Each structure stands twice: as C-alpha cells, then as structure tokens.
Amino acid sequence: MTSSTQIQLVSRPTGWPTHENFRTAVMELPDIEEGEIRVANEFISVDPYMRGRMNEGRSYIPPFELGATMTGGAVGRVVESRSDDHPVGALVLHDQGWRDIAQGPAKQFRVVPEIEGVPASAHLGILGTTGLTAYVGLMHIARFTAGDTVFVSGAAGSVGSAVGQIARLEGASKVIGSAGSAEKVATAVERYGFDAALNYKDGPVRTLLREYFGDQDGEGIDVYFDNVGGDHLEAALDLMNDEGRIAACGAISSYNATGRTPGPDNLWLVITRRLTMQGFTINKNMGHYKEFISKVGPWVASGELVFDETVVEGIDNTVEAFLDLMKGANVGKMVVKI
C-alpha cells in the first residue's frame, strides 16, 4: 500500500475561507489495476475559481463535496504504470491536485512535453488552462483584432498578465491594466509590457481609469477582459467604445461577499453603445487548445511571452497558498511545489 497526503474540505466557508474549513488526511491507496497509473505530483495549482466551488448551489461545475479531497490542476511524473501510453517517468497533467500522490485510469492523465528552460509548472499556468483562458477570452470571446484598445483587470495575475502580453503581441494599439499595489503596477508595465497600469487602491477606479481612456467614441475601450467585476466593470462600461466587447472571466471582488452585491449602475450602456458582454468558462472551450499551443508555445519558448510564478513549498502549505491567493499575495501563477 502507498499513502497519499491529501487536503479535504470539511465545511463551507462563509465569507473568507479559513484554515478551519479544511483538514489534512493520509489515505492508503490500493494497488493500481490494468489501464491505471500512479503519479507523484510535482506541482499543484490553487485558483480563484475554487472559492466558488466551495459553495453549494448551481454553477458551471459541481461544488466540492464535504469530507472529500479537493481537486484541481496538477502536474507530476508517472512512478508506476499499467498503461503503454503512460510510461514510468513521463510528465503528465491532470486534475487530482491537493494531494502528493494521485492515481486512476490513465485516460484521466495527459502526457505533456518537457520544454528546455521551461519548468514543469508552466503546464499549470501559461501553457495550461491559465494561458488557454487568456487566449480564448481575448481572441474568441472578445474577438480581438489588431489595433484594438484593451483594458485588463487583475493585470499582475496569471491570467491578466497573459492577456496583456498576447494583446500586445497581436497588435493592440493600447493595453492598460489594473493591479492592487505599486509593485504590481510596475511589474505589469516593466515586465509584462502593458502601456500603463493603475493601482485600484489609490482611489475610485471610475476616476483613475479616465486618465487612460476618454468617453468619446474612438478614445475609449474596445476590449475589456474582466477578472474582477464590481467597480472595475462599472468603470469600464463608462468608457467602452461603441460595439466594444467584454470578456467576463472572473469576479473576484465578490467571491467572498456574505451578502448580495449591487450590480453596475450603468448597465444601460450595453444597449446604447451596442456592447457585447459574454461570460465564459475554459472547460467549454478546450477545443481551442491546439490553436492556442501552436501560437503561444513558441512565444513562451522564445521568451517573447514571459510568465511569473509564486511558488509555495510543501503539500501542508496548500491551504495557506490558497488563502494568500485570495488576498492577492501572488504575482503570476500561484502553485504549490510538492
């Protein structure tokens, strides 16, 4: 028997999650059967969407079960195999995160390439669903075209930083971001190539954003990639150009709210400016993966598209990493190194 250290959800958070909502368990794993593999996870992912899955209720994906091990993206190496397509030593991507050892039917694990100079954890971020989310949201949901002006909230996060860079590489005329500290603003501009970024803690976003976009047609925003919602969405709506497009990817500003949060007070602009606002989830857009990897993979390998990671060491610190992520303590992708 092999033991696996796993993090389980034991109660549903009210407002901000705490350590008390989780427990660590050591599970004994049975021998693998024909067609199965066992994987030693090297990195696991913590992501904002996981907060929504901790709540009960209808969503695009079932909620986490109480008393069960958390799941999420993970990348690891095959240590035992009864599948010809998954040899021992192969690097695989899968969704059995929040544990150090994973196993199951081989079809649930995808062998991924190892790229010289690029860490395995990139398959959880820029070369995985994070990068795919940025690419699909910008190019397919927001229908970006060269010359567009772009505003990205959460610009120093893993998705936002990728959106800004892809927009620049695809020929945006202006890319503006928002972030929650002076350090993150500097990172967005100096490392990720945004033309400018605002610190949303410096004042009302509606006021700050007007420094970068006018409210006359042609001077405003063509594409808004929304990771935040709330006041950022209101500010962007004020400044959208006619027939502008909004890709609604996340609403982290309200994930931990304990009461109802008011909607934008200027939603009528969707009508008068003929705007398109579309929400999306990446699990419904995996068909774009080959297009994405053929375009973004070479940019990453060449260094044209850079990425950052905040790496937390140890399976026992997974909950702490998730809580820090929800408070914006990360730059780039937050991962846990097992």
Position 70 in a domain: yes
Position 294 in a domain: no
Position 295 in a domain: no
Position 42 in a domain: yes
Query: What pLDDT is stored for residue 254 in this prediction?
Result: 64
Give CA–CA dist 22/216, Å, rounded. 50
Tokens for 152, please give them: 């990205």
Position 50 in a domain: yes
Position 288 in a domain: no
Residues 228 and 267 in one domain: yes
Q: b/e per residue, 3-37, with b = 16+ CB within 10 A?
A: ebbbbbbeeebeeebeeebbeeeeeeeeebeeebb
Q: b/e per residue, 300-338, with b = 16+ CB within 10 A?
A: beeeebebbbbbbeebeebbebbbbbbeeebbbbbbbbb
Looking up residue 224, the CATH number of its domain turns out to be 3.40.50.720
Position 27 in a domain: yes
Q: Beta strands 2-9 and 22-29: pairing type? A: antiparallel
Residues 202 and 265 in one domain: yes
- 82 and 33 in contact (C-beta within 8 Å)? yes
Range of the domain at 168: 131-283
Tens-binned pLDDT, residue by residue, of the chain (338 aa): 699 999 999 999 998 999 999 999 999 999 999 999 999 999 999 998 899 899 988 777 889 999 999 999 999 999 999 999 999 999 999 999 999 999 999 999 999 988 888 899 999 999 988 899 999 999 999 999 999 999 999 999 889 999 999 999 999 999 999 999 999 999 999 999 999 999 999 999 999 999 999 876 678 999 999 999 999 999 999 999 999 999 999 886 666 666 777 678 999 999 999 999 999 988 888 889 889 988 998 999 899 999 999 999 999 999 999 999 998 888 778 999 99
Residues 91 and 136 in one domain: no
Residues 163 and 83 in one domain: no
Residues 121 and 194 in one domain: no
Position 117 in a domain: yes
Query: What pLDDT is stored for residue 329 in this prediction?
Result: 87
CA angle 112, 287, 294 (to 5 degrees): 55
Query: What pLDDT is stored for residue 67 in this prediction?
Result: 96
Query: What pLDDT is stored for residue 253 in this prediction?
Result: 64
Residues 161 and 253 in one domain: yes
Looking up residue 81, the CATH number of its domain turns out to be 3.90.180.10
Residues 165 and 263 in one domain: yes
Q: b/e per residue, 218-243, with b = 16+ CB within 10 A?
A: eebbbbbbbbbbbbbbbbbbbbbbee
Residues 230 and 193 in one domain: yes
Residues 155 and 92 in one domain: no
What is the tally of structural domains in the chain?
Answer: 2
